Chain A
Amino acid sequence: MSKSGISNPRTPYLLLLPGIAFLFTFFIWPIANLAQTSTQTPIAGGDTGEYEQTLRWANYLDAFLENKEQFGRSFLYAAIATVAALAIAYPLAYAIAFKAGKYKNVLLVLVVAPFFTSFLLRTIAWKQILGEQGVVVPFLRDLHIIAPSTTLTSSAFAVVAGMTYNFLPFMTLPLYASIDRIDPRTLEASGDLYANGITTFRKVTLPLSMPGVVAGTLLTFIPAAGDYVNAAILGSPQTKMIGNVIESRFFKIVDYPTAAALSFTLMAAILVLVSVYIRKAGTEELV
């Protein structure tokens, strides 16, 4: 080893090797595999699940046209859940950052506490919460907000509510990190310079927390758009999302090419939406 401490110039690459090997084995290779599958067609006279490579790009168009309703639904539900999570998480993160005092850490632990229980169990619990025996439905019926015959389970509402709940910590934590970094004196300075509470929020707090808003919405929207657990447990056939279609194509119908084509289309769509969003939010340097 040399005296300067910078030894072999190849050391950094050697250190990268395990990571690269991991990524290659578990990400790049499967993706390439998936890409290859997406243009296959069934072997004539073969068994179910036997496909051969015919480079049939029309698989993509067929898959999309057949499922465009589910695509639309996925992005709509994900968007609503993201907005709802933002509306809930922003005041929460703000309160934890600025008002919680010594309870800051306790509250942060509570935000991530749901992760100690399985995602599936928590989603199934929502079935109970929104069910006939839960507190929500009778309460809303008593207040005549919903008709006596209306149920909440197996509905779009339940799916979006479940997604909002499940992805809330992913929204809250980046928001908190970003709001917590705001110097409270800049807020005082804003008040000192003739801005009332609302103007201070619009002109100082919100712009300074934009990195958190962007990170939080991406961390919520991306997994929500591809989610299938919430729709499977809390939804009905009418609320199927694209994740559910991919899941059933892969595991039930063993239609691998369609499932692969759908996966790629979903990835591309999310990528496009996210790029547009980041460009619009004007925070390229933050992501």
Chain B
Amino acid sequence: MSGISSARGDLRIDHVSKSYGDFTAVNDLSLTIPEGSFFALLGPSGCGKTTTLRMVAGLEEPTKGTISLGNTDITFTKPYQRPINTVFQNYALFPHLTIFENIAFGLRRRGIKDVKEQVEKALDLVELSHLSSRKPTQLSGGQQQRIALARAIVNRPALLLLDEPLGALDLKLRRQMQIELKWIQKEVGLTFVHVTHDQEEAMTMADTIAVMNEGEIEQLGSPADLYDNPKTAFVANFLGQSNLIKGTITGNDGDNHVVELFGQKISLAKNRSHAVDNSILAGIRPEKFRISRLATPTSGNILSGGKIEDVSYIGVSTQYQVLMPWGQELMVFEQNDDGVAPFNVGEDVNISWEAGFTFALRGDEDAEAGTEVNPEEIIEDDE
């Protein structure tokens, strides 16, 4: 059918803003999503990620800026003219049509000839061929999710948008679908843009993650980049957990800074510091810490004078809260694999870690940013 853009290529979002009255949902967002990638927009409820997705789909118009696909400007193109398909949050399957007709819907609108063959192929891909004559209400949530995916993929869009596609599934099914989605993306070779508030989901599936907060991108990078070397306190806290300790850069030692944390000196690689001056927040992931009894020799960065405040045994690891002399509680995850007797509440301990794991944020950042949102508890609804 004429009218549908045949644009292919990278998706470019260029200085896009979206306001509803006084509220700015998306603020001057610029982003390039390379063709063929699995890209995740990750952020808490209300961060603007769904609005961004809807603007790409054509369901909302940007207040400012342009969106283009390859060399084609699609900012104000109608949804039905874009070579973009969406897997909606609650699937939005057509309740009056059979599974077969649901999947055939886009093909029929475009006047494609071999509808039957293509629908069957799509059903094969999601392994639900036997359900083609059922109605959507007769399917389980996981099956509906796959049909929604098949209904979008069958059109071979330049871009497939997934809006919290696994949000309504239970944990076990979600894990399974994450792996399957990733496999399907490789199999069909389409560009996937995935919106989620679940950091684990984003990290499992995406090649590149953009962490969004309050309508802006906090940081963009591979899952490992974001986790190992976060640039802001929000990213450090939203992706996994972080211990952020106030400190000052007091000197240099080759490629490293010498940092003083409440009177104790540690080492920080210069290229892992995002601070703008000498005032920093030193960051260490809880699983990077090692706890040792006072007499045990330790190497790397050491903080002494800790006292075990709380112990929780959770199987694969034991989580400790360690109270430091300056009154801050640090979180430590110890693998239960080293034969060291577990520590008891009240024990005096030292904490150590490999110097290379330290990262540093600007000293004026709010160390609590991103911690108040517990991704598992939020039911996404920021449309």
**Residues of the B chain whose Cβ atoms lie less than 8 Å from the Cβ of A193:** 80, 85, 105-106, 109, 151-152, 155
Interchain CB contact under 8 A, A191 and B79? yes
In chain B, what residue has the closest Cβ to A206?
A: B96
B93 within 8 A of A: yes
| A192 on the B face (CB < 8 A) | yes
B234: shortest Cβ distance to chain A, in Å?
A: 30
For residues 182 through 211 of chain A, which have their beta carbon under 8 Å from a beta carbon of chain B? Answer: 183, 185-186, 188-196, 199, 203-204, 207-208
Q: Is the CB of A208 within 8 A of B85?
A: no
B88 interface residue (CB < 8 Å to A): yes
- Of A189, A193, A204, most B-chain CB atoms within 10 Å: A193
- Complexed CA–CA distance, A193 and B157 (Å): 10
A183: contacting residue among B78, B86, B92, B109, CB under 8 A = B92
* Neighbour of A185 across the interface among B1, B4, B92, CB < 8 A: B92
Q: Is B95 positioned at the interface, with any CB of A under 8 Å from its CB? A: yes
Known A-B contacts A185-B88, A188-B59, A189-B88; the reply to A194 vs B106 at CB < 8 A is yes
Cα(A185)–Cα(B105), bound, Å = 15
B80 engages A196 (CB within 8 Å): yes
Per DSSP, chain A at the interface is helix
Contact of A188 among B79, B96, B109, B110 (CB under 8 A): B79
CB pair B92 A194 closer than 8 Å? no
User: For the complex, what is the distance from the CA of A85 to the CA of B232, rounded to whole Å?
Assistant: 61
B105–A190 CB distance below 8 A:
yes
- With CB as the reference atom, state the residue of chain B lying closest to A185: B92
Contact call A192/B85, Cβ cutoff below 8 A: yes
Q: Which residues of A contact B152 (CB under 8 A)?
A: 193
Chain B 137-163 per-residue mask, 1 if CB under 8 angstroms from chain A, else 0 = 000000000000001100100000000
Q: How far in angstroms is the closest Cβ of chain A from B379? A: 16
Query: What residues of A have a CB within 8 angstroms of the CB of B79 in the complex?
Result: 188, 191-192
Q: Which residues of B contact A203 (CB under 8 A)?
A: 105
Q: How far is the CB of A198 from chain B (nearest CB, A)?
A: 11
- CB of A199 within 8 A of CB of B88, answer no
A196 touching B78, Cβ below 8 Å = yes
- Taking a contact as CB atoms under 8 Å apart, the answer to whether A192 and B90 are in contact is no
CB-nearest residue of chain A to B82: A192
Q: Which residues of B contact A (CB under 8 A)?
A: 1, 4, 57-59, 78-80, 84-86, 88-90, 92-96, 105-106, 109-110, 151-152, 155
